[in-house]
Chain A
Amino acid sequence: SAVISQKPSRDICQRGTSLTIQCQVDSQVTMMFWYRQQPGQSLTLIATANQGSEATYESGFVIDKFPISRPNLTFSTLTVSNMSPEDSSIYLCSVDTGVTNYGYTFGSGTRLTVV
């Protein structure tokens, strides 16, 4: 399975600022996904990032708040913009190699605290 390097692993940020999270994969992958996991909760998909096209956002998530870049098949970034305490959460990237019926691999996550 793919190996994902996600950073930063954690950060404490001031409200109103932005944080960019990076995910680097050790192989080319078709799709990358960004999830949010609030404390004690399940995983909620923010958006799907495909190389060469704009990300597709899920209901409740907008590009102005969570801009995503996907410059190539091994890298993606998620920015959490104009942060508020409600954005405090764990953010995880995940990849699908495009091989049929292959489970997702998750990055190690970024624990974000907004103060």
Chain B
Amino acid sequence: GENVEQHPSTLSVQEGDSAVIKCTYSDSASNYFPWYKQELGKRPQLIIDIRSNVGEKKDQRIAVTLNKTAKHFSLHITETQPEDSAVYFCAASGGASGTYKYIFGTGTRLKVLA
């Protein structure tokens, strides 16, 4: 079945710097890749997503890139702020595991240092 690897597990950046989180997936049939942000004690919230027919998507300070050939996708956060501190999860869906079933990565704990 699908397997999603996520790196790094923890990431510390200075406020204003950029942060990059990378995920790789195993099922080449996967076609939808959401990213979730989970603050401490709260539910995961969708922050951005990308479909397999698009190579890049941007929403203000966050962007996601997808390389289908290499089967990896990345989350980019620019001009980081303390409120960006949270755990970020990538996911993949649409592959052999099932069209709507999400397989999540292991998560990245981002700390933005003021």
CA–CA, A108 and B106, complex, Å: 20
Minimal beta-carbon separation of B97 from chain A (angstroms):
9
Minimal beta-carbon separation of B99 from chain A (angstroms):
9
| Docked-complex contact A43 and B44, CB < 8 angstroms | yes
Minimal beta-carbon separation of A111 from chain B (angstroms):
9
| Docked-complex contact A42 and B46, CB < 8 angstroms | no
Contact of B106 among A31, A42, A104, A105 (CB under 8 A): A42
| Docked-complex contact A107 and B43, CB < 8 angstroms | yes
Query: Do A108 and B43 contact each other (CB < 8 Å), given the known contacts A42-B89, A42-B107?
Result: yes
A101 at the interface (CB under 8 A from B): yes
B73 at the interface (CB under 8 A from A): no
| Docked-complex contact B43 and A92, CB < 8 angstroms | yes
Minimal beta-carbon separation of A76 from chain B (angstroms):
15
B interface residues, how many (CB within 8 angstroms): 19
| Docked-complex contact A103 and B46, CB < 8 angstroms | yes
Contact of B49 among A31, A96, A103, A108 (CB under 8 A): A103
- Which residues in window 56-115 of A have CB below 8 A to B? 92, 96, 101, 103-109
A96 to chain B: closest residue by CB? B100
CA–CA, A33 and B101, complex, Å: 9
- Which residues in window 93-114 of B have CB below 8 A to A? 98, 100-107
A25 at the interface (CB under 8 A from B): no
Residues of A within 8 A of B (CB): 31, 33, 41-45, 48, 92, 96, 101, 103-109
